Structures are given as C-alpha cells and as structure tokens.
C-alpha cells in the first residue's frame, strides 16, 4: 500500500517554526564554536548523492544545480568540492536562519564555497529564480525536504500542502535535466508513484541504494532515493 502525503500524521517537523528554531540554534552554535550543525541522514547520504552526481552530471558544460530546502548547505558544499562550478549552484530554504547559516559557513569555508548562492524561498509558494532570472535547472536536489513538507498540518479537506510539491518540482527541472531525492518517509515505489508521472513530466531514471535492515521477517531500507529525468 502506498503512503499518501495525507496519510502521514502531522508533526512539528512539518512546521516552519520548528525549522526556524533548529536553525536559530545552529546559527548561534556556528557563531560561538564553529559547529556547522546536523548532517541530515548522515555523511553517508552526502557521499552517495555526490557519487550519483559525478556518475550522471558532467562538470562541463557547467550544469546549473538547485537544492530545495538546503538547510545548512552541507550537500551543496560537497558538490562544489567535487569540482562543480559554485557560481551555478543555488540553495533555497524557507527558514531565514538556515540561509544566514549556510552563507556564513560558505564564507568561512572559502575555496569557492562562498560563491554558492543561498536565498530565502518558500518552495510551495514561490518560484526560485537564478541570478539571471532562470526558473529551470539541470539538476534539482531534495534531501529530506519533501519528508518535512509531508508532515505539515492538513487543511479542512484533509489535503497536505505537500500534495502540490511534485508538480512544482517538475516545473523547475530543465528538459533532459534530473531530480534526485532522498527520503526517510517514502519507499522507492512511493517516490516513483509521486514523481514519475504525466503531471511532473518526469521519468524514473535510477536509484541510490542505502543499507537495508531486516526485522520480523520484513526487510526494508532506512532511506530511499531515486533520480528522475525530464525527457
Ligand atoms: C530535513 S531538513 C533537510 C535540510 C537539508 N536538505 C539537509 O539535508 O541538511 C528539511 C529542510 O526543508 C526546509 N523546508 C521545509 N519546507 C520548506 C518549504 N516549503 N520551502 C523551502 N524549504 C522548506 C526546512 O527549513 C529544512 O531546512
């Protein structure tokens, strides 16, 4: 049975005030002791996502890269360190302190990380725009953001704000571009059902395998990840 975004019980992880508190705290820690904050899904997820990017996205011609819900920016810093042009890398998040934090980390890290652009944007309300006004990217990334959105409060008809997410994602992926998502709330099949359809214009391309667990005769993955392509 597939998990509908409306089936998930709402939780504080689906509220902006939760993420504002998280990043206010991470920002003050960074300013006080230089701690860059939590690596959501762990180092392993960053390594695996960067490996996927290196396998499928050529460094030249320079690809444009967007992360939706970029948090402290760790994934984008890793992609830039892998050789991708930081001036074409863009992170958006609806929490202002997340943006302040990622900008500060970029400046402190230097070596090009300071050239990555981070801007406040509520992706469910607004369209992220590149410096030259662009609205489509060669590669769009989501690490835990759809998961957070799917835990938001439903409206009086039981609809989740996250229901509109897949079609918004479809609009910001360029033709022949990719969308790569890692999730802890949805299985691979559920991600395929939500993102690979005529509404998004995306097709399933590949997956990233994460370690699996076995419990009570059932097995599954801790995280799921698929990549989709716009033909
Ligand atoms: C689980 S965290 C992951 C952060 C980051 N991707 C990482 O891996 O560290 C989810 C992120 O999504 C952001 N977020 C949630 N809803 C959003 C929305 N509607 N628009 C933009 N960002 C959003 C939160 O502020 C938070 O930074």
Rounded distance between C-alpha atoms, residue 197 and residue 145, angstroms:
20
Q: How close is the Cα of 22 to the center of ligand 1, in Å?
A: 11
179, β-bridge pairs: 140, 228
What does the pLDDT read at residue 214?
A: 67
What does the pLDDT read at residue 181?
A: 98
Q: How close is the Cα of 93 to the center of ligand 1, in Å?
A: 6
Q: What percent of the chain has pLDDT over 90?
A: 82
DSSP character at residue 8: S
Rounded distance between C-alpha atoms, residue 212 and residue 231, angstroms:
31
The string of pLDDT tens digits covering residues 198-218 is 999 999 999 999 877 666 766
What integer is the mean pLDDT of 72-94?
98
Q: How close is the Cα of 153 to the center of ligand 1, in Å?
A: 16
What does the pLDDT read at residue 117?
A: 98
The structural domains of the chain, with segments of one domain joined by +, span 12-229
Residue reference for tokens 């948090």? 71
As for ligand 1, residues whose beta carbon falls within 6 Å of it are: 19, 40, 69-72, 74-75, 93-95, 98, 122-124, 143-145, 148-149
Taking the CA atoms of the chain, what radius of gyration do you get in angstroms?
17
Class of residue 164 by CB neighbours under 10 A (exposed 0-12, middle 13-18, buried 19+) = middle
Ligand 1 atom nearest to CA at 141: 6
Q: How close is the Cα of 142 to the center of ligand 1, in Å?
A: 8
CB 106 within 8 A of CB 82: no
DSSP helix/strand/coil, 74: helix
What integer is the mean pLDDT of 84-102?
98
The answer to whether residue 2 scores a pLDDT higher than 60 is no
Measured in whole angstroms, the distance separating CA 134 from the mean position of its chain's CA atoms is 19
Q: How close is the Cα of 217 to the center of ligand 1, in Å?
A: 34
What does the pLDDT read at residue 1?
A: 45
What does the pLDDT read at residue 210?
A: 86
CB 176 within 8 A of CB 229: yes
**CATH fold of 12-229, please?**
Rossmann fold (3.40.50)
The two tokens of residue 149 are 């959105």
Q: What percent of the chain has pLDDT over 70?
A: 94
Name which of 125, 183, 187, 162 is nearest 6 in CA terms.
162
What does the pLDDT read at residue 45?
A: 94
The string of pLDDT tens digits covering residues 106-151 is 999 999 999 999 999 999 999 999 988 999 999 999 999 999 999 9
What integer is the mean pLDDT of 36-59?
95
Sheet containing 224-229: give its strands across: 117-120, 89-93, 65-68, 137-143, 173-183, 224-229, 203-207
What does the pLDDT read at residue 213?
A: 67
Q: What residues have CB less than 8 Å from 216, skipping those under 6 apart?
A: none
Residue to probe by mutation, ligand 1, list 47, 73, 89, 93, most atoms within 8 Å of CB: 93
228, β-bridge pairs: 179, 204
What integer is the mean pLDDT of 55-79?
98
Residue ID of nearest Cα to ligand 1 atom 3: 144
CB 92 within 8 A of CB 119: yes
What does the pLDDT read at residue 57?
A: 98
207, β-bridge pairs: 226
pLDDT averaged over every residue in the chain: 93
Q: What residues have CB less than 8 Å from 184, skipping those under 6 apart?
A: 41, 144, 147, 222, 223, 224
What does the pLDDT read at residue 156?
A: 87
What integer is the mean pLDDT of 44-65?
97
The string of pLDDT tens digits covering residues 160-176 is 999 999 999 999 999 99
């Amino acid at each position: 049975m597939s998990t509908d975004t409306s089936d998930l019980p709402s939780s504080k992880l689906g509220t902006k005030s939760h993420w504002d508190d998280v990043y206010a705290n991470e920002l003050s820690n960074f300013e006080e002791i230089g701690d860059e904050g939590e690596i959501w899904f762990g180092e392993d997820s960053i390594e695996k996502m960067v490996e996927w990017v290196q396998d499928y996205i050529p460094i030249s011609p320079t690809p444009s890269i967007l992360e939706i819900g970029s948090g402290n920016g760790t994934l984008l810093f890793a992609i830039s360190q892998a050789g991708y042009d930081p001036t074409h890398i863009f992170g958006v998040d609806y929490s202002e302190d997340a943006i302040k934090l990622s900008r500060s980390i970029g400046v402190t890290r230097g070596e090009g990380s300071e050239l990555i652009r981070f801007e406040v944007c509520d992706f469910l309300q607004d369209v992220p725009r590149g410096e030259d006004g662009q609205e489509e990217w060669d590669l769009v990334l989501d690490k835990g953001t759809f998961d957070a959105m799917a835990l938001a409060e439903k409206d009086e008809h039981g609809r989740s704000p996250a229901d509109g997410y897949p079609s918004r994602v479809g609009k910001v992926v360029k033709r022949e571009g990719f969308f790569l998502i890692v999730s802890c709330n949805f299985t691979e099949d559920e991600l395929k059902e939500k993102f690979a359809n005529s509404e998004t214009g995306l097709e399933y391309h590949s997956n990233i395998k994460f370690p699996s667990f076995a419990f009570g005769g059932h097995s599954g993955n801790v995280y799921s990840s698929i990549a989709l392509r716009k033909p």
